[in-house]
Chain A
Amino acid sequence: ELKVEQNPLFLSMQEGKNYTIYCNYSTTSDRLYWYRQDPGKSLESLFVLLSNGAVKQEGRLMASLDTKARLSTLHITAAVHDLSATYFCAVDHHSGGSNYKLTFGKGTLLTVNP
């Protein structure tokens, strides 16, 4: 069964600092997604990574995918308070027959302090 491990699970940052969240997964996949969730809210899609070496950037966030290492990173540059949220990576994988499904990491609770 696929395992998706995120670390750290809790991240407290100061505004203006940089940091990286890591997402490791245990089986072959070349499809990975990052989502953001604010407290009590639904999931907002941040990045869709569909091939080895994919890199995408939006504002202060940049995501990358290394399918050979089975690793994705979400890099935060010059953090601001508005980035405080829980971030999930999710791996798309074959689940038998013609079925595919997403398996989520446990999530990283990011708190950005002034």
Chain B
Amino acid sequence: DTEVTQTPKHLVMGMTNKKSLKCEQHMGHRAMYWYKQKAKKPPELMFVYSYEKLSINESVPSRFSPECPNSSLLNLHLHALQPEDSALYLCASSQAVRAYEQYFGPGTRLTVT
């Protein structure tokens, strides 16, 4: 099973809302990632978790708050977002952070109104 699942598939939220994105994998991977992808652009790395610890934060604004409750789950908590944060949010996982293939989830299409 090489599946990474993400919920919800679509999310529309106002700028004052608080919402969360969820990502799950059951491949025993120990590295998990959040990427943001704008239309017609490549994915941009936001966060990396390695063995449930945050190892990379690519200077992401604090209105995005990641959480890794256990090795299978990764959340992204959203608060006070801006319309420019509207994008496809992709979760990925890999066996470890170094030189292992990343498997991507289907993504959450986020629209901030």
Binding site for A on B (CB under 8 A): 40-43, 45, 48, 55-56, 90, 97-99, 101-107, 109
Contacts and interface: CB of A to CB of B under 8 A. Distances in A.
A88 B109 CA distance: 20
B69 to A, nearest CB: 22
Contacts of B98: 92, 100
Interface residues of A, number: 25
Interface in A55-106: 88, 92, 95, 98-106
Contacts of B56: 95, 99, 101
A41 B102 CA distance: 16
B97 A99 contact: yes
A107 B42 contact: yes
A105 B103 contact: no
Where chain B touches its partner, the secondary structure class is loop
A43 B43 contact: yes
A48 B106 contact: no
Closest 6 CB pairs of A and B: A104-B42, A43-B104, A31-B99, A42-B104, A42-B106, A100-B98
Interface of A: 31, 33, 35, 40-45, 48, 50, 88, 92, 95, 98-107, 109
B41 A50 contact: no
Contacts of A102: 45, 102
Contacts of A42: 90, 104-107
Contact of B42 (A48, A92, A95, A105): A105
Contacts of B105: 42
A50 to B, nearest CB: 7
A68 B40 CA distance: 30
Contact of B106 (A41, A95, A106): A41
B55 A99 contact: yes
B99 A106 contact: no
